[in-house]
Structure 1
């Protein structure tokens, strides 16, 4: 009888120690101080259906250099994606579309319309799918007619693309709005930083791409 009680006690003790260790492990994992053993990763099969990659390839099929590919993508967007006036003034539509950057791009391709962010995200995704370095830049602009000069928060989005080892600036929204209806204004693609700064100022001053940066205060005075 005594032996049975001792065995029962030992079993209960072992179970208690086990659950205590488990709870400690979970707690450490939750607060980030516990590093679990590395799990084996299973490589997922890449889907052959990638609409962005397929679109980029079809757009650049006759382009040879990265510069030609960038220009082809820029011209395709300008020719096929209109400025989305409805989205600009519809809070309901904005809440539906602005869930994620991916959702914005999907809606741009479905609706064939975009605001500045949609143009910039689509251009980025198309370039990245063919391994061209590209960035989306948020900041302030004076270039869009009819838009109030709100300097309290960023009011515009554009791109930078890296060609031949050098970052260069472009703004598809401005190219379309300053175009003649048949073609975009090419002034806004690969624009010299010295000219771009008159109308655009990035949140991160690095993206002015100027050797001698100007202050935001000076930009507003121009």
Structure 2
């Protein structure tokens, strides 16, 4: 099967298994915010409501995440047809900063009023509301890993944006764009499907799918090679804390007849574990062994394996690897 078709297949499988079988964890904060009006007269009114209803920084940060994810839709048409960057002239640094602030303020109001945006609008609105309720918040720009075709890319690109917010003296990672829903390729449209896993995400999981332009987080340098060459993980992997212990690379070099050992934490024999062959048929793993709080099993590399292999646990896609012939 051609690579493009395989890539599309697994991207579609990701959509089906992650978003329709995903067990959503709705917090008490989310339940309260779900009853908020879909529209407020101003961002100030929304911020006042959040500040009144919640006392802690963590709750307020989560409330902002929830309201945006519940009410702002991803503008897929704008993503496909991006506007040209606004150019402007200035005679001093002060004038430059005023004009940049005006552009950002316009983006925030457009997102808030139209209820749709791409990641720049999501992150700008999140930062604005966070700052209004007294939180220190920044926007981070960088790369994202979203499909099997991203495994083994040669370089990163600046194609996404997310937030970091300071809670209890620690920077927390937040991607509200990914928290609001997903693109359903079978329907050709965005689907709202609240996803809490991208609020205060574990950095190990977050940076498997994100890489900042700065290459750093909280003063620590991140590995670009690990990001580019690591496996593709999915939302259920993060939610269930399915740590991928082996293989440690997303690129598997193998000959026909080789057996690849896979080890995943927090899985047991009671789970159904399988992968799809290149004819899209499920293949149940044979003789799995419980080991060190997880499950270890082998996958035979033969003519039935395609260019990529995706592991499923109980119908949910967990991790994808790229197969390269030795």
After TM superposition, the structure 1 = structure 2 runs for residues 14-53 of structure 1, keeping only pairs within 5 Å, are 51-53=42-44
Structure-2-length-normalised TM-score: 0.46
1:201 alignment partner, one of 206, 211, 217: 211
1:215 matched to 2:240? no
Tell me the CA shift for residue 142 of structure 1: 0.6
Tell me the CA shift for residue 205 of structure 1: 2.4
Structure-1-length-normalised TM-score: 0.66
Q: Which residue of 2 aligns with 1:78?
A: 69
**Kept in 1: contact 2:143–2:156 (CA 8 A):** no
**Kept in 1: contact 2:108–2:124 (CA 8 A):** yes
Residue 128 of structure 1: SS of its match in structure 2?
Answer: helix
In 1, the alpha carbon distance for the partners of 2:123 and 2:154 equals: 20
Tell me the CA shift for residue 90 of structure 1: 2.8
In 2, the alpha carbon distance for the partners of 1:145 and 1:60 equals: 41
Give the RMSD, CA atoms, in angstroms: 3.3
Structure 2, unmatched stretches of 5+, are: 1-40, 87-99, 185-190, 231-326
Tell me the CA shift for residue 100 of structure 1: 1.9
Task: Report how many residues are paired.
Answer: 170
Q: Which residue of 2 aligns with 1:164?
A: 168
Structure 1 residues 161-197: Cα deviation after superposition (integer angstroms, max 9, x where no partner): 0001110101011112359966521111000111111
Change (3 A) 1:174 1:129: same
Tell me the CA shift for residue 201 of structure 1: 0.6
1:111 alignment partner, one of 109, 114, 119: 114
Q: Which residue of 1 aligns with 2:131?
A: 128
**Kept in 2: contact 1:161–1:168 (CA 8 A):** yes
The answer to which structure has the higher helix fraction is: 1
Change (3 A) 1:90 1:210: same
Tell me the CA shift for residue 153 of structure 1: 3.0
Q: Which has the larger radius of gyration?
A: 1
1:87 alignment partner, one of 51, 62, 78: 78
In 1, the alpha carbon distance for the partners of 2:154 and 2:48 equals: 38
Change (3 A) 1:83 1:90: same
Tell me the CA shift for residue 83 of structure 1: 0.6
Tell me the CA shift for residue 53 of structure 1: 2.5
Tell me the CA shift for residue 66 of structure 1: 0.9
The answer to which structure has the higher strand fraction is: 2
Q: Which residue of 2 aligns with 1:18?
A: none
Q: Which residue of 2 aligns with 1:186?
A: 196
Change (3 A) 1:103 1:182: closer
Tell me the CA shift for residue 62 of structure 1: 1.2
1:137 matched to 2:143? no
Q: Which residue of 1 aligns with 2:177?
A: 173
Tell me the CA shift for residue 134 of structure 1: 0.5
Q: Which residue of 2 aligns with 1:15?
A: none
Q: Which has the higher contact order (CA 8 A, sep 6+)?
A: 2
**Kept in 1: contact 2:150–2:228 (CA 8 A):** no
